[in-house]
A and B are shown apart, each in its own frame.
Chain A
Amino acid sequence: MIPPKKSFISRLKNIFLIVLLIVIYIWAFAGINFHGLQPMAKQIASAVLEGFTHPEWEFVSSPLNRFLNSMFDAKIPEQYLTSDGEDLLAQIMQTLAIAFLGTILSSILAIPFAFLAARSDKDKSNFSLKLKILGYSAIFFVFAILISFFTNGGKFQQWPKFWLWLFIIEAILILFDSLINRLMKKSVFDTKSYFGKFVLTIIRVFPEIILALMFVKAVGPGSFAGVLALAVHSIGMLGKLYSEAIENLEKGPNEALTAAGGDDIEILTFATFPEVLPSFLNAALYRFEIAVRSASILGMVGAGGIGQNLIFAISTRNWSRLGIIMIGIVLMVTAIDFISGQLRKRIV
């Protein structure tokens, strides 16, 4: 038996899509303008390759160089002995520190955003639930203050105003939303969730390098600008991942605590928090892997880390130094991916 042929329309649709794709690609390939292709490319490429095969090992660590000179009489030149803090190991440590601090900061800052962006339970989108959400973000608002207190060596003078504003906007939106719910007797929009998702998308898509540049202008060049840029930029992705974890949360344990007569804080600490914690940790570790890659390039705009050495090596055409830096970055990223992967395996 011969099966019936596909309908003419569906075949036409496929043909149309394929033609469309071909047209798009013809447009893409034809439109590329290979202007400014440098005539010396071949020579430079071979010089770069030469540099990669002869990396500048002396750049790795000055203390190590001094040690080798004194113990084995390695005769490493003077310029490599005193560059403490400017050598590869120190710069890699700085890169990791930027990534770590940025991720820790954003993994906490992302929590209120996540609760903001998470869809509320359809059946329960009543006023008290919204107040509850407001209460949660108030708790994390306090956390944000504490963290800024902690990372400032115990000095405390000013409120993180931005968080206060966010909190106020959230409160207004929630009130507005409940008003609509009251009047129309049903939940039409999840204003709170839409607003949260919108903010998170903007943060996520805003180019990281521009953010770093803005922070460099604000606090001056150095790794602190990098930390701030990472901390803010990571909120976009972490908030999204967190809010998905909250939306997928099993409601059961929460209900069990409610049934036992627990109040909102007890429900949060005994059921909600232990249930979402593994997903939060997993997301934060994943984001840390990405942050390490980002931190190694933020230096290109002066935001600290190995990136500044990299851009300097390129502009001075010091290919053997570029070689050792790239080896360093590859090893660093591989090691962090491995460690983080192992930790994530143990969390789940």
Chain B
Amino acid sequence: MLDSIIEVKNVSKIYANGVVGLKDINLNVKRGEFLVIVGLSGAGKSTLLRALNRLNEISDGEIIVNGESITKSKGKKLREIRREIAMIFQSFNLVKRSSVKRNILSGRVGYYNSLFSTLGLWSKEDKERSVNVLQRVNLADKYYDRADALSGGQQQRVAIARALMQEPKIMLADEPTASLDPATSVVVMDDLLKLNQEEGITIVANLHSEELALKYATRIIGLAAAELVFDKPVEKVTKKDFDQVYGRLEKEKTSKSNKTKKELVS
């Protein structure tokens, strides 16, 4: 139990309009894993990922991060847990009109009193750290540029640098390559892999692409229609697993194998 950094226990999510987002999900993420979640859009990948740092509320169940329940925390406690969990997004979510410097420093807000951060009273170490993290993604020459002057791939790497400012133990990546071309996608994924292997940051990523998932993950889980359909180390994942996630078999077969898989998983 000690080596699992995220525990998802019987988590369900039902949206206000009655749509089921997640159905009784159980999942343990181990320290140092590179976990990839695959599934069709609308299968609940994003909902699950965003529940892990409580960007989305869940309706039922509990999520424990690093030994503490994020679903039961509030206020300052919640912000402190979030500090340990960095996140990068499909659309980068940089403040486009602010400088790269300001964007990166804003990743550090969890460590500051809001008065100090608002007035821009960053410590010397944090300023140095902000240069340092940018160097790690090879973009230090863009330090003073405005974020919207960068290309998509560069913006995503700045977002990674911002995430690194948190000194996170976990990095969530919500479709990090979906708005990038294949070549840039590899650069961004390589950056994530480096963090995973060299610094032992646990990575949980949503990916659309089978190919990328197989190349980078140590473990893959599949979601279909809000349910967990498989959960395997990457070596054991077969084409059949992907087929059922992406609904490429006949419907009957899928639902049947869904059941068997679910039994296996639980």
Contacts and interface: CB of A to CB of B under 8 A. Distances in A.
Interface residues of A, number: 24
A259 B118 contact: no
A295 to B, nearest CB: 31
Nearest to A264: B114
Of B97, B106, B110, B163, which is in contact with the most chain A CB atoms at under 10 Å from its CB?
A: B106
Interface in A258-277: 258-263, 265-266, 269-271, 274-275, 277
B109 A257 contact: yes
B82 A260 contact: yes
Contacts of B163: 260
B89 interface: yes
Contact of B82 (A187, A258, A274, A277): A258
Interface string A303-318: 0000000000000000
A259 B97 contact: no
Interface string B86-105: 11010111111110001000
Contact of A262 (B87, B92, B110): B110
B16 interface: yes
B15 interface: yes
Interface stretch (A30-38, A141-149, A248-256): A248-256
A245 B250 CA distance: 47
A260 B162 contact: yes
B226 to A, nearest CB: 17
Interface residues of B, number: 37
A329 B86 CA distance: 57
A269 B120 CA distance: 10
Of B81, B87, B172, which is in contact with the most chain A CB atoms at under 10 Å from its CB?
A: B87
Interface in A135-158: none
Given A123-B16, A262-B110, A253 B95 contact: yes
Contacts, number: 89
Given A260-B166, A261-B80, A277-B97, A269 B55 contact: no
Given A255-B55, A255-B89, A265-B114, A260 B97 contact: no
A261 B83 contact: yes
B117 A266 contact: yes
A182 interface: no
A132 interface: no
B85 interface: yes
Given A186-B16, A266-B118, A261 B166 contact: yes
A258 B93 CA distance: 12
A260 B171 CA distance: 11
A280 to B, nearest CB: 12
Contacts of B107: 260
Interface in B45-93: 53, 55, 79-83, 85-87, 89, 91-93
Given A260-B166, A270-B117, 7 more contacts: A252-B91, A252-B92, A256-B87, A260-B83, A260-B106, A260-B108, A275-B95
